[in-house]
């Protein structure tokens, strides 16, 4: 869930409980207590629905951002006026990063004597960063995962 949901989500239940305890002291009949409790539960349900709606909107914005980046990349790559470098810079960076990552993994696994102990720590750190970048590169070019596809379908169903 989003930051806003986490921030406000925990306090809603506590607020309803404290208001309910206060109302128990102020009301006299059981019918009044039940009616107020029902209204509070309705308000809490509405709050949760609104928080889910905000979460869905946040995910939609994230998906739209990714989609616009892919569309921009496709427009540059198919533009007849674009230079060779501007058409291929994304692919070159992605390919270079992938090759560098595999080279460093190869050195650490199959050539451990070539890398000194001091350099090994640095290479492991750089490999961590490169692995995160490779994940983003693959997500950009090949889609993120089946889980994201399922999440997208769920969001579409919920908004309809």
Query: Using CB atoms within 10 A of its CB, is residue 138 exposed (0-12), middle (13-18) or buried (19+)?
Result: middle
Is 0.85 topped by the overall pTM? Answer: no
- Of 43, 66, 81, the last residue of a domain is 81
Per-residue model confidence (pLDDT) at position 96: 93
CA angle 6, 10, 11 (to 5 degrees): 120
Arithmetic mean of pLDDT, 15-37: 71
**Quick count: other Cβ atoms within 10 Å of Cβ 91?**
13
Arithmetic mean of pLDDT, 33-49: 89
- Of 81, 106, 140, the last residue of a domain is 81
- pLDDT band at 146; cut points 50, 70, 90: low
Mean pLDDT of the chain: 79
Alpha-carbon distances of 142 from 78, 134, 135, rounded to whole Å: 19, 12, 10
Phi, psi values for residue 27, rounded to 5° = -95, 155
| The total number of structural domains that make up the chain | 2
Contacts of the segment 135-144: beta carbons below 8 A, 24+ positions apart? 137/94, 137/97, 137/98, 140/66, 140/69, 140/70, 140/94, 141/94
Asked whether residue 12 falls in the same domain as residue 48, the answer is yes
Asked whether residue 60 falls in the same domain as residue 102, the answer is no
| Alpha helices per DSSP H over 111-145 | 117-142
Instruction: Indicate whether 35 pLDDT > 50.
Output: yes
Instruction: Indicate whether 44 pLDDT > 60.
Output: yes
Q: With H, G, I as helix, E, B as strand and everything else as coil, classify residue 112.
A: coil
Q: Which residues form the domain of 122?
A: 83-160
Arithmetic mean of pLDDT, 99-119: 86
Asked whether residue 44 falls in the same domain as residue 77, the answer is yes
């Amino acid at each position: 869930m989003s930051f806003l949901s986490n921030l406000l989500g925990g306090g809603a239940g506590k607020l309803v409980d404290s208001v309910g305890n206060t109302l128990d002291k102020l009301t006299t009949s059981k019918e009044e207590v039940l009616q107020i409790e029902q209204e509070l539960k309705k308000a809490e349900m509405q709050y949760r629905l609104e928080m889910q709606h905000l979460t869905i909107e946040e995910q939609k914005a994230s998906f739209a951002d990714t989609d616009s980046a892919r569309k921009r990349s496709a427009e540059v790559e198919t533009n007849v006026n674009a230079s060779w470098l501007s058409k291929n810079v994304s692919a070159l960076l992605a390919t270079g990063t992938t090759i560098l990552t595999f080279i460093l993994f190869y050195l650490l696994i199959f050539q451990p004597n070539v890398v000194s102990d001091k350099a090994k720590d640095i290479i492991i750190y750089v490999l961590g960063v490169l692995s995160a970048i490779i994940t983003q590169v693959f997500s950009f070019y090949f889609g993120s995962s089946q889980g994201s596809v399922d999440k997208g379908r769920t969001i579409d169903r919920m908004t309809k």
